[in-house]
A and B are shown apart, each in its own frame.
Chain A
């Protein structure tokens, strides 16, 4: 520390450059904590380390009223105190006043927790002010205070000793103190005698300190200097700026948030549209498949039927007419019989095509297929206000099967259920799909809350072309039945207390498949 002090230039009376204080500042700079110091001066309250303020006083009482509580608070807060007194106060005055105010004052004195010195002595070296030394003293005191376990340094300096010719130099010193004190663990209260101070001097003092205490209307008041006001307004401006930016940023974030929300909604819509499109596609495909199937059946079956009907008509005409030619009639009847067999063969072939021709077996997860079917039909379900419930067993074996065909069966059963529930005029529109394990594979049930199946129709519903629907062609259940049979399972209706209950089984291995 001392070696660094030697680097400071020899003092001169004219010093205007802060370089003079650089070493001091580097040394005295300490981490300044955020905690506030009690000033003991009611009107000032608490201040942070690095506070440099001043008061103009008129009387000795003014000084004592302020400085005694100032140092009392410092001693109580464990700060090292340095009181440089000047006229009209003497060191004795100060000591007596403190002794009265501070209970264990002598102990503090004995510990050198407080030093009371004559201002003149403190600031002057010979007859000239040695303000570089003063600065170094502050730095040393602060360091030693901290080294000795004090919280920091509390100072009051007096300027009553100051001769006018030193004013400018002192003002510069105060300026430097004001600049650098903010990083020091130190508070400074400077006292200026009001009497004899010129307006220019008052302005200088005000400029070089953070704020002033002044007596007004019999009480003390805090007067902010323009510098502080500026700083405060700058802080306020920065704060406002910060706040504005926070608001801006918040708004931007809110906008982005909104945008994201919109995107999410958009995406949800797109997904819904996609699902609708899928459902539509499934429906259209089903209709097309059905339409094509119907056309094929119509054509293939109608050809022999046309021949049968025409030949039959011919026979009738011949039998009714006078010119009977039994050989001709016999030939026609022979063709009728053969065309009848042909029609029946067509039907068998179509059923064979449907069930065996396109089998493409893979291992299937029936629960996944049920869920997929419900997704495909979601639109249909909501449009008919039907709620669908699933009770799916989780320990199901995978079954070998043709995914497209079994999906067709599921969709068919669910659509039938939707249409059945829509026909019921009362109560809940509900469909329940269950999957369960059964001894040789699994079981799927589709139950609806519709009117159910009339007993006398129960054994006809799987016949081709049997339908109870206004626009049905009566192939759905028949085809579904064939598909399940071709998978080695069974599709049947089960008597149920509510609505219709269809169930099918599928074996877990291929044993049952013919």
Chain B
């Protein structure tokens, strides 16, 4: 991951706090965009870069915890670091269960925040990478003809060329042609590679931002 491509979003209703965090985070070479409320954040145009969200629990309008839930519902999968002036255990548990990276009590140690930001960015970077890979795979898969997809599906389920030929009513040679074309289009180096690719396509969610 490249630091310059990463961006840290800060949502806190207190401008002083926002500015201080921006200053601190920028001092370690990260970009910062800050907002006074959840709505402001949602309205902003955000680049599809690796990012994380430093979120105050107590916000005007919708609170931080509810905002976290809304983000998840809207499939906005930005890792969240909560900061709060008075965190209690139930609040912390709720936030962490909903996938928060960290829950920091104000005033926090600067290193704790920076560590949490790094972890969050790493997590987001990994996710984005994985999603990019899947997008590529899907693209490749979508370039297959209907017959090729059919053959791939039977190949990965462990059937022999002969069996496939019998099933779709063609010759074994034709199956071999479909199969090698599909391997080529999918850029699979081996049968095992192809199986893995199909598995990933099947198990991972369709789309994410």
Contact = CB atoms under 8 A, between A and B. Distances in A.
A314 B108 contact: no
Contacts of B139: none
A81 interface: no
A318 B16 CA distance: 19
B174 interface: no
Contacts of A43: none
A310 B17 contact: yes
A304 B86 contact: no
Contacts of A300: 85
A496 B16 CA distance: 49
B86 A298 contact: yes
B69 interface: no
Interface in B1-51: 14, 16-17, 19-21, 23-24, 27
Contacts of B85: 298-303, 306
B27 A307 contact: no
Nearest to B21: A310
A314 B27 contact: yes
Contacts of B24: 310-311, 313-314, 317
A300 B21 CA distance: 18
A24 interface: no
A335 interface: yes
A308 interface: yes
Contacts, number: 74
Interface in A303-326: 303-311, 313-314, 317-318, 321
Contact of A332 (B17, B23, B86): B23
A interface SS class: helix
B107 A295 contact: no
Nearest to A301: B85
B83 interface: yes
A340 to B, nearest CB: 11
A335 B22 CA distance: 13
A342 B21 CA distance: 18
A328 interface: yes
Given A299-B58, A317-B24, A307 B19 contact: yes
A335 B107 contact: no
Contacts of A294: 86
Interface string B72-112: 00000000000101100000000000000000001111100
Interface in B148-200: none
A318 B27 contact: yes
A339 interface: yes
Contact of A328 (B23, B106, B110, B113): B23
A303 B107 CA distance: 8
B17 A303 contact: yes
A321 to B, nearest CB: 8
Interface residues of B, number: 19
A48 B73 CA distance: 109
Contacts of A311: 20, 23-24
A313 B110 contact: yes
A307 B20 contact: yes
B20 A302 contact: no
Given A310-B24, A317-B27, A335 B106 contact: no
A310 B20 contact: yes
Contacts of B109: 313
B107 A308 contact: yes
Given A298-B86, A342-B16, A305 B23 contact: no
A363 B13 CA distance: 44
Of listed A302, A304, A339, residue having the most chain B CB within 10 A: A302
A305 B106 contact: yes
Contacts of A342: 16
Contacts of A309: 107-108, 110
B71 to A, nearest CB: 23
B163 to A, nearest CB: 66
B106 A306 contact: yes
Given A295-B86, A298-B85, A299-B85, A306 B27 contact: no
A307 B110 contact: no
Nearest to A323: B27
Nearest to B86: A298
Of listed B85, B109, B113, residue having the most chain A CB within 10 A: B85
Interface string B48-71: 000000000010000000000000
Contacts of B86: 294-295, 298-299, 302
A339 B18 CA distance: 13
Given A304-B14, A310-B20, A335-B19, 11 more contacts: A306-B20, A307-B17, A308-B20, A308-B107, A310-B21, A310-B24, A313-B24, A313-B110, A314-B24, A335-B20, A338-B16
27 contacts: A295-B86, A299-B85, A299-B86, A301-B85, A302-B106, A303-B14, A303-B85, A305-B106, A306-B20, A306-B106, A306-B108, A307-B19, A307-B20, A308-B107, A310-B21, A310-B23, A310-B110, A314-B23, A314-B24, A314-B27, A314-B110, A317-B110, A332-B23, A335-B16, A335-B20, A338-B16, A339-B16
Interface of B: 14, 16-17, 19-21, 23-24, 27, 58, 83, 85-86, 106-110, 113
